């Protein structure tokens, strides 16, 4: 009885526990490195989005009430030509991280995907220009932006993230 | 079976790709560039080594009834481990391997070695077995990737080859090219591996899967 029912459960549980602990430990070592590399790539991406910016300053998100939870980082440009937001939202499978540049009048300059784990060939539409270009120059009403058939969940999440970025922009610049 | 035998049979006699035809999904998918092939081969070897060591140590503790879930947990964890390390320290490889890096968890070579070898043998032998099969897998990937990169892209490990760069055959880098190269290599390997002899007297001695089916 003990050998047939209790022991297998105990062994499997013990293995799962030990393994989870080991993975958590390695994750605690690699996550800072991965995050640092991510933010460096993000910085390069920011420079591409607002080429005429002289520099970027981090905005402390904790200073503002009602900031959407999806907003992870926000930056203002030193010469006040716009803001950059990095937002992460739950997509079809896992987080979609986007970077969005908004000019000082509240219009989107450019938006692109930093990282995602959506379905290859379907959700990857959020990396491609035909979809990303529909966001260019629009304001907080998001007129003319729509989900894409076949990748509804992914694109809806993407649009929600852009909406949150807009909300954050008006919270900061009010 | 001697230790040298255990080490070398994964490379030649029981090569996972050319003899056992296992793990063909990554073989076809990531062999467009020699660099990716090495990265994938090393990542798979790492997972194989880790899972073989742990499973051979725990083989007397893991009850027979839950051995498969145990192997799955262990192999999947080593895969996540490899993914985190590669993402942190080798981001370009992480990007080029894409979805096939986490899919190492479903690679049947690793599962087969756990079930066939590691749960019946000691740690030293299991390490040798993992190194042999890992090397065999890596070399097979490298062979296919070299051909595909040289003829499809006109380069090898990113170094451009004169003349071929301007006269590359695109099909080699696409999916059909993968199948064609694999099939041609299999034909060559079958030809030179004294396969005729094997076909004449079919029995357990000449079968590469003899140790799997367990009749001997």
| Burial class of B63 by CB neighbour count within 10 A (0 to 12, 13 to 18, 19+) | middle
Note the pLDDT tens digit of each residue in A86-98: 999 999 888 899 9
Q: Minimal Cα–Cα distance from A168 to chain B, Å? A: 30
Q: What is the pTM of this model?
A: 0.71
Chain B residue numbers touching A123 (CB-CB < 8 A): none
User: Are A11 and B66 a contacting pair at CB < 8 A?
Assistant: yes
Tokens 């803001």 locate to A83
Tokens 């030293």 locate to B124
Chain A residue numbers touching B74 (CB-CB < 8 A): 15, 19
How many contacts (CB atoms, under 8 Å) link A and B? 49
Note the pLDDT tens digit of each residue in A132-143: 888 888 887 888
CB distance A118 to A93 below 8 Å: yes
Report the candidate in A85, A136, A127 with the shortest Cα–Cα distance to residue A108.
A136
Question: What pLDDT is recorded for position A50?
Answer: 82
Note the pLDDT tens digit of each residue in B2-45: 888 888 888 888 888 888 888 888 888 888 888 889 989 999 99
By percentage, how much of chain B surpasses pLDDT 90? 32
Q: Minimal Cα–Cα distance from A66 to chain B, Å? A: 34
Tell me the DSSP string of B26-62. HHHHSTTSHHHHHHHHHHHHHHHHHHHHHHHHGGGTS
The mean-pLDDT minimum among A26-40, A129-143, B129-143, B198-212 falls in B198-212
């Amino acid at each position: 009885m003990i050998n047939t029912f209790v022991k297998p459960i105990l062994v499997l549980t013990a293995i799962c526990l030990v393994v989870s602990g080991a993975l958590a430990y390695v994750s605690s070592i690699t996550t800072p490195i991965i995050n640092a590399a991510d933010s460096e790539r993000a910085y390069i991406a920011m420079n591409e989005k607002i080429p005429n910016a002289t520099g970027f300053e981090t905005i402390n998100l904790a200073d503002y009430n009602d900031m959407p939870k999806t907003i992870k980082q926000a930056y203002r440009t030193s010469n006040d030509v716009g803001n950059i937001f990095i937002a992460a939202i739950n997509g079809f499978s896992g987080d979609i991280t986007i970077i969005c540049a908004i000019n000082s009048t509240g219009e989107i300059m450019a938006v692109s995907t930093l990282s995602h784990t959506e379905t290859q060939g379907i959700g990857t539409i959020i990396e491609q220009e035909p979809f990303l270009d529909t966001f260019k120059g629009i304001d907080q009403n998001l007129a003319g932006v729509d989900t894409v058939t076949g990748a509804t969940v992914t694109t809806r999440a993407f649009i929600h993230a852009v909406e949150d970025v807009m909300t954050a922009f008006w919270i900061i610049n009010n | 079976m001697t230790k040298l035998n255990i080490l070398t049979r994964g490379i030649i006699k029981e090569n996972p790709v050319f003899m056992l035809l296992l793990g063909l999904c990554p073989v076809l998918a990531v062999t467009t560039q020699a660099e990716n092939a090495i990265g994938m081969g090393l990542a798979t070897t790492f997972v194989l080594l880790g899972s073989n060591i742990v499973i051979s140590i725990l083989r007397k503790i893991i009850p027979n009834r839950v051995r498969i879930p145990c192997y799955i947990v262990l192999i999947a964890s080593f895969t996540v481990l490899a993914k985190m390390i590669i993402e942190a320290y080798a981001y370009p490889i992480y990007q080029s391997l894409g979805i096939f890096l986490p899919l190492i968890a479903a690679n049947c070579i690793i599962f087969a070695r756990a079930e066939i070898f590691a749960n019946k043998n000691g740690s030293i032998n299991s390490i040798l077995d993992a190194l042999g099969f890992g090397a065999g897998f890596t070399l097979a990937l490298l062979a296919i990737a070299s051909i595909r990169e040289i003829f499809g892209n006109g380069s090898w490990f990113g170094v451009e080859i004169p003349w071929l760069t301007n006269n590359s055959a695109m099909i080699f880098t696409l999916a059909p090219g993968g199948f064609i190269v694999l099939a041609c290599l299999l034909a060559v390997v079958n030809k030179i591996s004294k396969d005729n002899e094997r076909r004449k007297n079919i029995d357990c001695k000449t079968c590469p899967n003899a140790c799997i089916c367990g009749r001997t």
